Amino acid sequence: MPLGTKLRVAVVGGGPGGLYCAALLARQGHAVEVRERNAPDDTFGFGVVLSDETLGGIERADTVVHAALSAEFTRWDDVAVVHRGRMLTSGGHGFAALGRRRLLEILHGRCTDLGVTLRFHTGAPDAHALAASYDLVVAADGVHSATRESGAGHFRPTVTTGRCRYIWLAADFAFDSFRFEIAETEHGVMQLHGYPYAPDSSTVIIEMREEVWRAAGLDLCDEDESAARCAKVFGEALRGRPLRGNKSAWTRFRTVVNERWSHGNVALLGDAAHTAHFSIGSGTKLAVEDALALAEAVAARPDDVPAALAAYEAARRPAVASTQRAAAASMRWFEEIAGYVDQPARQFAFNLLTRSRRVTHDNLRMRDARFTRSVERDFGCPDDGGTPPMFTPFTLRGLTLRNRVVVSPMDVYSAREGVPGDFHLVHLGSRALGGAGLVMTEMVCVSPEGRITPGCAGLYTAEQAAAWKRIADFVHTSAPGAALGVQLGHSGRKGSTRVMWEGMDEPLPEGNWPVVAASPLPYRPGVSAVPRALSTAEMAAIRAEFVAAAGRAADAGFDLLELHCAHGYLLSGFLSPLTNHRTDAYGGSLDNRLRFPLEVFDAVREAWPQDRPMTVRLSATDWAPGGTTPEDAERIAAAFAAHGADAIDVSTGQVVADESPEYGRSYQTPYADRIRNALGVPVIAVGAISSWDDVNSLLLAGRADLCAVGRPHLYDPHWTLHAAADQSYTGPAAPWPDPYRAGSRKPPTGRG
């Protein structure tokens, strides 16, 4: 198609995203038709929230629409969190909202002015049929998109349903802030999300777990009765005023993800392409941003619609994926809100505000320093205003750590015959000099057969113990105040493999040793060796090897011992139902699967000095169907805590080869959070914690007591000291070694 030729465009769906896309394309001179099955004044829900970023895009694309919206907006800055009758307010957030019906009126008018044909009460034919008659078809037909479903073989959608029921209602008065409130009823926790959208109106969303909804009998209520009962539960927040519906029904949130957003000249837009939980903002915001990106892509390539649609998807997908990750974290937080209600009020409020990880400690401090400082004081930060949460001490048994940063156990595969050498001395010593409160060794193996690779370190000989003592002495002498921890483990079925950079989990080409496990199941069928199922006598022998290694670790001077029960190694293999198929007393029920790991723990705890702490690392989910669940992980953590574990180091996965992890920033921390708040046991959080801001946020929110940081410490051995410098902290929790003091300030860059 030559440049400058008008496109014939059909938009399926007359919601805000479809209408705004139609207006933008009409401004470019294209002939646009919108088909909407409902009447022009039909709408669902009430208020729509738009961010400053979205409004900026609208202003750049169409000043007429921006001016009309700006004249209608209700604006506010505060978020109010009501916890057990106490209201805490945080400012500086900046919101803008208007009524959904008014938004549609503005967009209808703009479309009419630009010559868009609006067809209401008109169900569109299949979008793929329309594609034969139009140059571009925009499917903005919502979360239940018929276009997406009819083209599922190409779009490849995944739709997952949340665990809460919610209903959109409205109140005929304006809240003065974004309001979150919980009600602890006899049936369980219910929650209110409310915000103003007009001088005399507010949106009110009531949400609760499915089982709470059923126990309260709300599954038997119609719209009017649901509104009346919710108004009674939240009578104080509503000032005794009623709630009203608008074709409102209880539903569960559906998260929509598509592998592809376009097919030929058909594009998905808004909820048809993706959804994000309402607790982080409006789906309308995402749809409007889609419309902006789609119109921009078409303007750049009107002669090649498929290429334009590919560019649209490439431009939007990263931002949408980021939003969906944040929305998933927020949705899960509200699903698990019952686990947080016993937190102190300010910590609860901070936890809620930072639930999606988009708002962080540093960000919130800039928005509302007074509120953030009050949370820091409650946490235990000194009243000097200059000590970040990560630089407060933490005590486990007889060990007080100077700060909350842990260098994660990281296998370096550089030992010879299990003996750690100069590489280990420099690797661990440099990170101790770099300021971390606790530096962990890699998994140290309790026997030659318990190694993962020939390069793994051990503690099964006197020579190995002497080498570890040399390292411990260096840390304690040259980095006073830093603690050194040892992680003991046995590779189980994941042993006898090459070092990581030669082929992770690949069997050795020669010199293999036999591998053992709970059950004779290879880690990678057809690739990995088939392990021998351990007999009870062999299990007793391995338990004795753990005890002997613990004795050597104590003599070497380690300050803390961690038992490795994660990542599919031997003890982890007993815990997971995917890897333990035993029919004796060590298999079957979770209590039975726990038996051998607890026997090892008890024996090691008895051998380990009583004043030194002992932790356990767990995989809190296998990321695979039929594996360990978060509920299982709670029970496993509770069992170890009851047997004397001082903290639980909460990791995930690596138990089975066909896992499907949900990677992302701090992606494993919700599992630590859940265990900590369900059991009251200290936890170490791990998993893509990459910034000091994340560490501070997790600690203040009560999601972790310590944070283990791995890859950033590989990139920068002095990561902790640099985190202190970046926050202008110069206190005793992050001392620079005397020979390094001259480098304690960041060097200037450039000529300026």
Residue 134 bears catalytic tag = no
Contact of 120 with 398, CB cutoff 8 Å: no
CA gap 702, 152 in Å, rounded: 42
Q: Find where tokens 């902790």 sit.
A: 720
Write down the number of H helices and E strands in the chain: 25, 29
Q: 3-state secondary structure string, 634-649? A: HHHHHHHHHCCCCEEE
473-489 core/surface letters (b: 16 or more CB in 10 A; e: else) = ebbbeebebbbbbbbbb
CA gap 686, 672 in Å, rounded: 8
Burial class (CB in 10 A: 0-12, 13-18, 19+), 221: middle
Q: Where do runs of H (alpha helix) occur along 216-353?
A: 223-233, 283-300, 305-335, 345-353
Contact of 138 with 87, CB cutoff 8 Å: no
Choosing from 569, 586, 671, 729, which is the catalytic residue? 569
CA end-to-end span of the chain, whole Å? 52
Burial class (CB in 10 A: 0-12, 13-18, 19+), 644: middle
CA gap 95, 115 in Å, rounded: 32
Q: In sequence order, what DSSP letters do the residues of 309-327 get, joined into one string?
A: HHHHHHHHHHHHHHHHHHH
Contact of 614 with 644, CB cutoff 8 Å: yes
Contact of 138 with 18, CB cutoff 8 Å: yes
Q: Quick one: which of 97, 98, 106 has its CA closest to 40? A: 106
- Judged by phi (left if over 0) then psi (alpha if -120 to 50, else beta), residue 506 lies in beta
CA triple 618-620-622, angle to 5 deg: 110
CA gap 483, 107 in Å, rounded: 62
Enzyme catalytic residues: 569
